[in-house]
Structure 1
Amino acid sequence: MWRGLSALATQAAWAPLRLCARCSTGAESLVPRSTIFALSSGQGRCAIAVIRTSGPASGLALRSLTALREPPPARKACLRLLRHPCSGEPLDRSLILWFPGPHSFTGEDCVELHVHGGPAVVSGVLQALGSVPGLRPAEAGEFTRRAFANGKLSLPEVEGLADLIHAETEAQRRQALRQLDGELSQLCQGWAKALTKALAHVEAYIDFGEDDNLEEGVLEQADRDVRGVEAALGSHLRDARRGQRLRSGANVVVTGPPNAGKSSLVNLLSQKPVSIVSSEPGTTRDVLETPVDLAGFPVLLSDTAGLREGVGAVEQEGVRRAHQRLEQADIILGVLDASDLASASSRSFLDTVVAPLVAQSHNSGGQRLLLLLNKSDLLSANAPACDTALPPHLLMSCHSGAGMDHLLQALKTELAVVCGDPTTGPPLLTRARHQYHLQGCLDALGHYQLATDLALAAEALRQARRQLNHLTGGGGTEEILDLIFQDFCVGK
């Protein structure tokens, strides 16, 4: 008989159908009330809609709608006619899939119904499931929450699944898939295992230090393990929030003197008319933002007012906001008019903005700068392309599109530095929660001093291990879980 059903529920599942509360008495109490169902595919008309259930009454639900006498083969699609369990009215011909627990997404008995995606069909099947005793509509994220509760997913894997659902760029998809595959969880579990082993050695030395039964060098080995974890934690925490930028988007700010082509560049990169383009200086007087997929990376692209001494109060405020946004930028696109490099506004921009950024990047690896010389189409064939005293730059034309490929490649390189490359290296920390718990673990290890007090060293290891358990979900509070699952849709 199908797994996951109690003996009474099994009798109800395979007895003659008297399942609707309106059609029977007493049957409803035979089935547990914790089975959920929902539409798992998108809303609206589509070719195929997927409806699924999870819980001990999933087998009963499938028996109710298909009148099957035996369970279908596990994890194999079968074509069956679905009928309403009360009226017997045909609903649709559906592919059905049976996933007996614990080998399912949630760890419980699950059913998937692949029906035609018309609203009337979907509504009819959902109403039919709602009439089966023991079934109720799922809440947002409840399927994934059950998978977490049943140990099918760790908390970072749950977060990876949420990020995968919301991924809008190729880099976000790759990073979310790595986290869903458990790379961050496995890394934390490895650190926790090393700390557990070190803790066992320290506690053994506390209990049996005077005996001859302990191997030599036990504390030295524990100390090496702890220092190795400490170094690895420090390395991950020095990633400059790259993973969080990859998840939420890097700030790319376009700046330069008036009429250099900043708004044209923003429109070209975003492929839509975000900013007004005019030959009149000072057209852009506020910060205009637009989310953009640049070379596969998520970016918040900002167009700013031309940097000059404002001729009015409004333009002066726009220039002030432009300077403020430059301080928050991860990457700065400095735009100059290639045909007007000798102007006072261009020289002022080079001296006051470009030169300090170049010096900063050389000294401390600060904000990234890409200097662009726009309007290359206005240069005469015999004129020099640019001033040789300029820092490294790219020559392009927003009007003709020349040089755009080189700009996108340069942006991809810079964004990979700022956001991290999701295809290589260790897994990135994509949420502030990850960074908080790893920092807490590192802080706890800061109190680990074997030479001072073995008992305090053991307590420091316990605290450090507890922080790693919180990260992977072993000690999370309900409030944290609610916050994580609130972004999931119904059916997931």
Structure 2
Amino acid sequence: MTIFALSTSPGRGAIAIIRLSGDQTAPILEKLTGKPAPEARQASLRIITEPETGDPIDSGLVLYFQAPHSYTGEDMAELHIHGGVAIVDRLLDVLSGLEGLRPAEPGEFTRLAVLNGRMDLTQAEAVADMIDAETMAQQKQAFRQMQGALGVLYESWRQKLATSLAHLEADIEFADEDLPGGIGQAVLGEVAALSDEIAAHIHDDRGRTLRHGVEIAIIGAPNVGKSSLLNHIAGREAAIVSARAGTTRDIVEVSLTLGGVPALLADTAGIRAAGDEIEREGVRRALNKASEADIRLHVTAFGVAGDETTSDEARFQEGDLYIANKQDLGETSRPNTLNETDFFCVSAETGAGMSHLVAALNTRVQTSFGLTERPALTRTRHRIALQAADIALKRGLERAETGAELELVAEDLRLAMREIGRITGAVDVESLLDIVFRDFCIGK
């Protein structure tokens, strides 16, 4: 069966691209243009007509990609036509009426690419990430993954386990043969090192943070200027500002980009013990947001007494920033417990010090959550599989230390290798396809 789809956004535009893939691609091009398919990978200007009547629909570029050298690994074609709604609708209607041709399902072109070995599952997921990327850092991460960086890392781990497993099974199966002594036991050190590498990869959360955004919470006592800081950093009046303490009762969030990384900046209620039922709920939500945040901006102000209550959520942590606001009224000295790089004197009223703070915040986000040379974990599906692999490896190592049968250790290595293979689709690819492609757009 040959499939087709509009691969550009629907609606009026300068051009539209319709893709076809399948063994009937070349014959269909001949029906539409009255000429054989163009030379592979060479654009050819053709008049596209309705096969039954010969009525012209449009003139445009026709590109033909011969299997297996195409995106899907099958014969493919692209029709580059004018982007008028009537033209596109008419050509899609004509294609729908041709025998052996049907509309593509969401993600079906990329799905075929995986099934035909043109890419692995991590690359397919990166295609969706490229389309959804809203910041430069997201685009760069998706492109690196689409080029195979993550798949190469996971496949190298799977190959290491395969080698270790082969040595271990050789020790089991040929124990009476003249093999190097303890060949099976010798690989356990390599397995332990690999387990540590996988565990470190699991705990490096910058890949998922880069996809979903860094959460930053502004916390502090009432009337220290948290809402003013939010508005200044966001560059718009997102939160209500008032001299009256306790104006903010709920979480006010603003999406923005910091250091090329998507971020969600949250203004919270002033933290203090007193207050009515509504204010107490606001404080509870503020502390909860502080505990979930990747970075906390601890705000104080000249002339505003801090709250005497303390909580684990509101304590200063590594990576946080301490901001002394209202410096137009007087100077605040840096607490001895803070480094100079974590302490900022600003005035949200006059803007003094704000550019320095925003620059530092951009740098902090980029350094902590931006791209690194090593590929980062990007999806929950990967994390679940790697956690299962790490559990199996640690269990196998514990069994080896306690003198358990090597057959049991080998089975744990086999389970770990299988879990890693599931990430790229080296095993169980069919069972994972629906999960990977459920959010894809039609035409990709």
Q: TM-score, normalised by structure 2?
A: 0.91
Kindly report which structure 2 residues correspond to 1:159-198, keeping only aligned pairs within 5 A, or say none: 159-198=125-164
Indicate the residue corresponding to 1:456 in structure 2: 408
Indicate the residue corresponding to 1:407 in structure 2: 357
1: CA distance between counterparts of 2:395 and 2:280? 52
Matched, 1:56 2:23: yes
Indicate the residue corresponding to 1:237 in structure 2: 202
Matched, 1:487 2:439: yes
Answer yes or no: is the 8 Å Cα contact 1:310–1:319 preserved in 2.
no
1: CA distance between counterparts of 2:431 and 2:361? 39
**Number of residue pairs matched by the alignment:** 436
Matched, 1:426 2:374: yes
Bigger CA drift: 193-202 or 445-454?
A: 445-454
Matched, 1:155 2:136: no
CA distances 1:346-400 after superposition (whole Å, capped 9, x unpaired): x337x73799733x53xxxxxx321122334x24xxx6x3224363411233344
Indicate the residue corresponding to 1:42 in structure 2: 9
Indicate the residue corresponding to 1:31 in structure 2: none
CA 479–282 in structure 1, closer or farther in 2 if over 3 Å, else same: farther
Match of 1:357 among 295, 303, 315: 315
CA 323–231 in structure 1, closer or farther in 2 if over 3 Å, else same: closer
Match of 2:105 among 123, 134, 139: 139
CA 403–115 in structure 1, closer or farther in 2 if over 3 Å, else same: farther
2: CA distance between counterparts of 1:127 and 1:295? 46
Give the percent of matched residue pairs that are identical in Structure 1 and Structure 2: 43
2: CA distance between counterparts of 1:371 and 1:447? 43
Indicate the residue corresponding to 2:250 in structure 1: 286
Q: 1:287 is aligned with what amino acid? A: I
Indicate the residue corresponding to 1:78 in structure 2: 44
1: CA distance between counterparts of 2:133 and 2:247? 34
Q: 2:333 is aligned with what amino acid? A: D
Kindly report which structure 2 residues correspond to 1:73-112, keeping only aligned pairs within 5 A, or say none: 73-112=39-78
SS of the residue 1:352 aligns to: coil
Unaligned runs of 5+ in 2: none
Indicate the residue corresponding to 1:261 in structure 2: 225
1: CA distance between counterparts of 2:101 and 2:352? 61
Matched, 1:443 2:391: yes
Please state how far the C-alpha of 1:217 moved relative to its aligned partner.
5.9
Match of 1:389 among 317, 320, 335: 335
Please state how far the C-alpha of 1:156 moved relative to its aligned partner.
1.2
CA distances 1:221-245 after superposition (whole Å, capped 9, x unpaired): 5334323322211221232x32222
Please state how far the C-alpha of 1:140 moved relative to its aligned partner.
1.0
Q: 1:303 is aligned with what amino acid? A: D
CA 401–99 in structure 1, closer or farther in 2 if over 3 Å, else same: farther
SS of the residue 1:278 aligns to: coil
Q: 1:394 is aligned with what amino acid? A: F
Unaligned runs of 5+ in 1: 1-33, 362-367
2: CA distance between counterparts of 1:408 and 1:113? 47
Answer yes or no: is the 8 Å Cα contact 2:258–2:366 preserved in 1.
no
RMSD: 2.3
Match of 1:348 among 300, 307, 315: 307
CA 283–91 in structure 1, closer or farther in 2 if over 3 Å, else same: same
Indicate the residue corresponding to 1:201 in structure 2: 167
Answer yes or no: is the 8 Å Cα contact 1:469–1:475 preserved in 2.
yes
Answer yes or no: is the 8 Å Cα contact 2:291–2:313 preserved in 1.
no
Answer yes or no: is the 8 Å Cα contact 1:285–1:315 preserved in 2.
yes
Please state how far the C-alpha of 1:447 moved relative to its aligned partner.
3.2
Please state how far the C-alpha of 1:154 moved relative to its aligned partner.
0.9
**Greater Rg by CA:** 1
Q: 2:373 is aligned with what amino acid? A: G
Please state how far the C-alpha of 1:303 moved relative to its aligned partner.
1.3
2: CA distance between counterparts of 1:485 and 1:402? 49
CA distances 1:425-466 after superposition (whole Å, capped 9, x unpaired): 321111122111112111111233455322222212211111
Q: 2:434 is aligned with what amino acid? A: D
Match of 1:369 among 317, 320, 334: 320
CA 348–354 in structure 1, closer or farther in 2 if over 3 Å, else same: farther
1: CA distance between counterparts of 2:438 and 2:234? 30
Answer yes or no: is the 8 Å Cα contact 1:286–1:305 preserved in 2.
yes
